[in-house]
Amino acid sequence: MTLCESSFESLPTSDHRLWATVRAAIGCTEIRDAIFFKLAKGLCRRFKINSNELRKVPAFPRGQLYSETEGYRIAPHPDTREKIVTMQFAFPSDHSLAGVGTEFYTRSVNPMHLLREPRGFSIAKTMPFLPNHAYAFSVLNDFGMKSWHGRSTIPPMDRVRNTLLHIWYSEADETDRELVAYRQFIQSQVPVRKIA
C-alpha cells in the first residue's frame, strides 16, 4: 500500500489517521536532515557538495508498505538515480525472522559466486530483520560506486515479512502536496500554550 490519500480512503478513520501521521512524521524536514547528515559521506560524493549544503538538496519523501512471503527475492540492484536515500523499517512481531533482512553486496570475480545466489556477488552485510530496526543508505549509481542491495530467496517460513519502505526522490509528485497539506492540518490541531 502506498502511503497516500488515495490508499488511505478505503481505511477506517483511525487507520487513515495513523498512517497519514506516520507518513507526515517520517517525511518531515527534521527526520530528513538527521538521516541525510548520517549519510553525508555518500550524499556529498554523489552531489559533489559539502555536508553543510545537504539541506539544499531537493528531496521528496514517499512511503510504501510491503508484505513478502517465502520465495520472495529481489536481484542485486543499486536503485535508480531518481532515488536519493532509501530507508526501510522492519515490522516483525518477534525475533524469528532475524535472518531475512535486506542484503548489501559487493561484486565478486570468484567463480563459485556464479554458482549460487546472488550470482556474481558476495554478501557484505545482511540487515537484521528485528523489531524496532530500520536502516537507510544513500543511493549511489555511477561508474565509480554503486549501492548494490537486494534479497536472496526467502526460505520457507510460516509468517509474513512486513516492512515500510521510505524513499526520498529527486522529483516531486502529486503526493508531496498531500503531505504538505496534512502537516499543516496537524499543526492547526496542536494547541498553542502561551508562556507568561
Would 37 be classed as within a structural domain? yes
Q: Are 33 and 43 in contact (CB under 8 A)?
A: no
Helix, strand, coil shares of the chain as percentages rounded to 5? Answer: 35, 25, 40
Domain count within the chain: 1
Would 194 be classed as within a structural domain? no
Would 149 be classed as within a structural domain? yes
Cα of first residue to Cα of last residue in the chain, in angstroms, is 46
Tallying the residues shown for the chain, one arrives at: 196
pTM score of the predicted model: 0.85
Residue where the block lists cell 543499486: 78
Mean pLDDT across 136-148: 92
pLDDT digits (tens, 9 = 90+) for 99-137: 999 999 998 888 888 878 888 899 999 999 999 999 999
Range of the domain at 115: 5-189
Would 196 be classed as within a structural domain? no
Confidence (pLDDT) at 104: 97
Mean pLDDT across 141-170: 93
Would 116 be classed as within a structural domain? yes
Would 97 be classed as within a structural domain? yes
Q: When comparing pLDDT for 116 and 57, which is higher?
A: 57
Would 36 be classed as within a structural domain? yes
143 pLDDT tier (thresholds 50, 70, 90): confident
Range with lowest mean pLDDT among 39-48, 71-80, 115-124, 125-134: 115-124
pLDDT digits (tens, 9 = 90+) for 181-195: 766 666 666 565 555
- Count how many Cα atoms sit within 13 Å of the Cα of residue 15 in the half-sphere of its side chain: 8
Would 195 be classed as within a structural domain? no
User: Where residue 153 sits, what CATH number does that domain have?
Assistant: 2.60.120.10
Give the SS3 label for residue 73: coil
